[in-house]
Every structure is written in structure tokens, then in C-alpha cells.
Amino acid sequence: MNETLEEVVRWGVPAAVVFGVAALLAVTGLWALRRARRGPRARAAAALDRAAAGSALIALDDAVEELDLEVALSGALYDGTAPPALRRARMTAQHARDDGFAQLRDLAGDAHPDEIRRLARGIRTRVDVAAGQIAQARQEHAAWMTAHRTADAQLVQARARLETLRAELGDPEALVADIARQVEDDEAQAARAAADQAKAALGDAEADLSEAAELLSDPTRSALPALARAERALRRARTAARALEEQHRLVTEAARAAPGELAAARDALRQAEALRADLEPEDAERLGGELRRLADDLDAVEARAAGRPTSTIAGVARMRDRLDAAVGDARTAQQRMRGARTALPGTLAAARAAVARAEAAASTSSADARVRLSSAHAELAAARSAQDPVAALDAARRALRHAEDAVALADYDRLNGR
């Protein structure tokens, strides 16, 4: 019996040591591998893949913008008889762009590098497919135009659109002057910039069409590049004209709504003050301090409300957000519902104004800025369609934050020459 035990010990202990060391090495190797896949090199490689996906999305977003112009020309100018390939390609590209921006937003934070690289490469694959469809659709459309439309006809139609747009725009300085009478200079800057852009774009379109007319008399040269530049200038003019009208509407509505929003905010503060009696002493003191700070901030906003209506609406919206966070669970469901109904109009107005600013600042900026702009659009749409006031208010606040983030990122890109 002793001999058998000695035999087991003599062979078993070394084997156990060998297997134990092997298991330890395997566990250590697995741990090292997992750590390396989350290490600095892996994160740097994942960041490069994410940046490449962002660059691809920027290119696709710009291509969709150009495609919008061609689709509009195909439908409006050619009586819908042009091949539908452009419209199909635009729809595919829009879906790929929107899904890509949503996924790129989700790639931020502490996601695993492998997941970042997998999703980033998936984004690039879908972008490449959409870009290929756009290129093929443009070839089909160019062939159709060559067969069915002459440069002379395009020039006549472009001049007609220029005159129509000029008539619709009217005198942009009149709108700017009306805004300037209502607000301080800094709140009129966006409208003034939009008016300048509209006038400059109309001038560019006129010059391009004049050049196209001269080229038509020379059979050795093509007028199509000048006509394409004119169409892009008309598109810029139309976008700027819409931005000017939107700024005028936002300022006018904000000036009309600001007194009511300030009064509603004062009432919300009084209601929050009444809740303190039902709180524990420590919680009541904390809420009281925050309410005093909010009241001081509201006083500062109200002092300049007459000349800064859009800033007033945005300031009140942010204050109401802070108030809801300070009150927390102290309110009943009915009180939360009533508070959401009173806060929603002003917050929606602030979100719309912020999205308008973000569109002007971020539409030609980096991928991160465009991601925030896309998120702001989605949240604003959700706020408008929500039936529950609380859910609509939450979505409007998210839209406001995303739009402000988009502007901040665009400003950062501009300051750093990106």
C-alpha cells in the first residue's frame, strides 16, 4: 500500500505541477491577450478606423447634398421624365448616411476597440456601396441629359429660376432691418450673414450664367461646367434665403413669447418653493439654495430680455431643465405633467433656434459635429411627434444639447483649421 502511494506521489506530483504551470501560463496568456486588445495600440488603431469612417460619412453627406440638387433638377425641370436612378441612389445614400451617423455616435466612449473597428468598417462598406450607386446613377443621368436636353434649354431654365428666386427673396435688407429693430446686434448677426450669403450667391449665379451664355457661342467649348456652378450658386442662395426667413420667424416669435416664458418660469419657481415644506430639512435646504441661484439667473436673463429674445427663450429653457433636476422626485406625476406642458413651448423654440444655428455651423464641419447635428434633428422630430408632454420635453432638451454641442464642435474645428 505504501509502495503504491509512493508511486502515485512520485508520478502524480510532477504531473500536477506541469499541468498547473501550463494552466497558469494559459490563463496569463489569455489575460495578456485581452489586455492587449484593450491596450493603447488597439485603441489607437480603433480610433483611426473610426476617423476613417467619419471621413467617409462626410464625403457621403456632401455627395447627398449634391445629389439633392440633381434630383431637384431632374424632377422640377424635366417634368419627371428623367430616369429615376438618381432618386433611388439618393434614398439609399440618405439611409446609409443617417445610419452611419447614428452608429458613429454610439462608437464614442469606452467601447471595446474590436467593436469600434467592426462597426467602423461596416460603416465604410455601406458608404462605399452608396457611393458606387451614386456614381452609376450620375452616369445614367448624364447620358439621359445628353440625349434629351441641350445646354441652350438648360440656360433658359436656369435664368428663369434665378429671376424667380430673386423675386421670392425680395429685399433681404428689409428683413434684416426689421430684425435689427427688435434685437441687439449679436442676435441679428445670423440674419445679416444669411442675407449677405444670399446676395453673394445670386451674384455668383448671374456671373456663371453669363459665362455659360458666352460659351454657347463657341462650339469648341462646353457650357455645362458653368451651368453646374450656376445651379450650385442658386442652391446656396435658396438655402440662405430660407435661413434668413427662419431667423426672422424665430426672432419675431421669441420676442412675442419671451414675456410669457419668463412669467411661467417665475410661477414654476414659486411652485418649487412650495414643495420645500414636504421635504426633509437637509433636502429642503439644498433645494432652497438651488432655487435662489435659479432666481438670480432668471433675473439676469430678464434684464436683457427686450433686446435678446432668442437668448432669453434659450436661457429660460435651460433654467427649467435645472429646476426639474433640482426638484427631482418631490413633485407628483400630475405636477410633472403640468410643468412639462408649460416648459415645452419655450424649450421647443429654443431647440429650433439652436438647430438652425447648428445647421449653419456644422453642415460643412467635422464628422463629430455632423453626428451631433443629425442627433439634434432626430430628437427635435421626436419632440414634435411625441404625445406625452414629459417625453416631448425630454426630447426637446436633448435636441437643444445636441445642437449646442454641434456648434461648439464646429467652432473648435474652425479655430483649429480643420
Q: How far, in Å, CA of 374 to CA of 102, rounded?
A: 8
The pLDDT assigned to 71 comes to 67
Mean pLDDT of 374-390: 91
Nearest 5°: the CA angle 304, 269, 280 is 145
Contacts by 275-281 with C-beta closer than 8 Å and gap 24+?
A: 275/327, 275/330, 275/331, 278/330, 279/330
Give the whole-number percent of the chain exceeding pLDDT 90.
Answer: 19
Residue length of the chain: 418
Reported as a single tens digit per residue, the pLDDT across 207-234 is 988 988 888 877 777 777 788 788 888 8
> For the purposes of burial, counting CB atoms within 10 Å of the CB of 160, is it exposed (0-12), middle (13-18) or buried (19 or more)?
exposed
Reported as a single tens digit per residue, the pLDDT across 58-68 is 888 888 877 77
DSSP tag of 416:
T
Task: Compute the C-alpha angle 51/57/59, nearest 5°.
Answer: 110
The one-character DSSP state at 363 is T
Q: What are the grid coordinates assigned to 199, written together?
A: 446676395
**How many C-beta atoms lie closer than 10 Å to residue 247's C-beta?**
28
pLDDT at 70 over 80: no
Q: pTM of the prediction? A: 0.72
Q: Show Cβ contacts of residue 51 under 8 Å, excluding neighbours closer than 6 positions.
A: 367
361 Cβ neighbours under 8 A, 6+ residues apart? 369, 406, 407, 410, 411
Contact 361, 406 (CB under 8 A): yes
**Which cell numbers hold the place of 388?**
406625452
Lowest-confidence segment of 97-106, 182-191, 345-354, 379-388 by average pLDDT: 97-106
Higher pLDDT, residue 110 or 194 = 194
Q: Is the pLDDT of residue 16 over 70?
A: no
Give the pLDDT band (50/70/90) at residue 81.
low
Q: What's residue 36's pLDDT?
A: 47
- Return the pLDDT at 350: 92
What is the b/e burial string over 287-306, where b = at least 16 CB atoms within 10 angstroms of the residue's CB? beebbeebeebbeebbeebe
User: In one letter, which amino acid is 116?
Assistant: I
Query: What is the pLDDT of the chain when averaged over all its residues?
Result: 81
Question: Of 127, 1, 123, nearest to 62 (Cα)?
Answer: 127
Higher pLDDT, 219 or 347: 347
Distances (CA, A) of 188 to 161, 217, 306, 346: 29, 45, 13, 20
What pLDDT, on the 0 to 100 scale, is given for residue 397? 93
What whole-number distance in Å separates Cα of residue 355 and Cα of residue 377? 7
Give the per-residue pLDDT at 76.
46
pLDDT at residue 258 in the model: 92
Q: What average pLDDT does the segment 158-166 reach? A: 85
Q: Residue 3: which pLDDT band, with cuts at 50, 70 and 90?
A: low
pLDDT > 60? residue 75: no
When comparing pLDDT for 34 and 218, which is higher? Answer: 218
For the chain, the domains span 40-148, 151-246, 249-415
Interatomic CA distance for residues 349 and 256, integer angstroms: 12
